[in-house]
Amino acid sequence: MDDAELALLQRAYAASGKLLKGRAISQPEEAALRKVNSLVITATNTIPTGPGGVIPVPANTERFWKAPNLVLYTAKAISQPLSISNGFDGKEAWNQDARGRVAPPLPLDAIRAKRMADFYEPLNMKKNYTDLKVTGLEKIGDREVYEVVGIPEEKIPERFYFDVQTGLLVRRVMTVPTAVGPSPYEWNYDDYRDAGSGVKYPYTVRTEPAGPRNEFSSHSITKISKIQENVAIDNAKFVKPESKEPPP
């Protein structure tokens, strides 16, 4: 390691105390986030269809999210009678396909769904990951970012990339084991805005591939049109639905 590389790494580690909270969160930012206890997120996205999910179908989506860990996501196609949904009811994750069949996700996906259902996940990284460390500085587009690596429950390293200037999360990368080796699945976050409480949310999210089990060539772009904070949501909304057919 030359002097320049050492200087970059030292700079990254100097920020690690804040980054390990999930992002460079100041006390006022954390206080603002703690005051939010529910979200309703309205957006457009695509439903991956066809072999490997490579045929995107435009859809209107809603995500209902309530502390501490209740989630419901629905996607309804714009031009055809097609809808899917998934959620976490506080105990287990579930998926409902276009035929109305309800089934649990694969074990690895279920572990990750539970962790990501945590409403205050950005504040709980030390609880959710062991051996968290800043591994250095990277470039994503024209942004300089810190790379942070942590080991979650499933023991597969996960990577986070935080903007050096803002501390905001730019990219998150998981991997899915396959017969031909690890397959990356990444979220890219952009267009952060304040929805009213002082908390900044990414209004554009791009995933590659479209889903963790889709073909690598697929992708999906979520464009958020509205975020409502602290909406009263009945817990009954998050109850796992009955399957309309026997699960596959």
163-217 pLDDT tens trace: 888 878 899 999 998 888 888 999 999 999 999 998 889 999 999 987 777 777 7
Considering only CA atoms, give the Rg of the chain. Answer: 19
Q: What is the pLDDT of residues 55-84, one digit of tens each?
A: 889 999 999 999 999 999 999 999 999 999
Please determine, for residue 100, whether its predicted confidence score (pLDDT) is greater than 60: yes
Taking residues 223-238, report their average pLDDT: 97
Confidence of residue 7 (pLDDT cuts 50, 70, 90): low
pLDDT at residue number 108? 95
Q: Rounded distance, CA 153 to CA 223, Å? A: 30
Alpha-carbon separation of residue 168 from 19, 23, 30, 144, 178 (angstroms): 9, 6, 13, 12, 31
pLDDT at residue number 134? 82
Confidence of residue 125 (pLDDT cuts 50, 70, 90): confident
Residue 112's Cβ-count burial label (10 Å; 0-12, 13-18, 19+) is: buried
pLDDT at residue number 230? 97
Quick one: tokens of 189? 């976050």
For 173, residues 6+ apart whose C-beta sits below 8 A from its C-beta are: 158, 159, 160, 161, 184, 185, 186, 187
Q: Which of 26, 32, 10 is nearest to 194 (CA)?
A: 32
Whether the pTM exceeds 0.75: the reply is yes
Please determine, for residue 133, whether its predicted confidence score (pLDDT) is greater than 90: no
Q: Rounded distance, CA 90 to CA 73, Å? A: 14
Please determine, for residue 4, whether its predicted confidence score (pLDDT) is greater than 80: no
pLDDT at residue number 55? 85
Torsion sign, CA atoms 162, 163, 169, 174 = negative
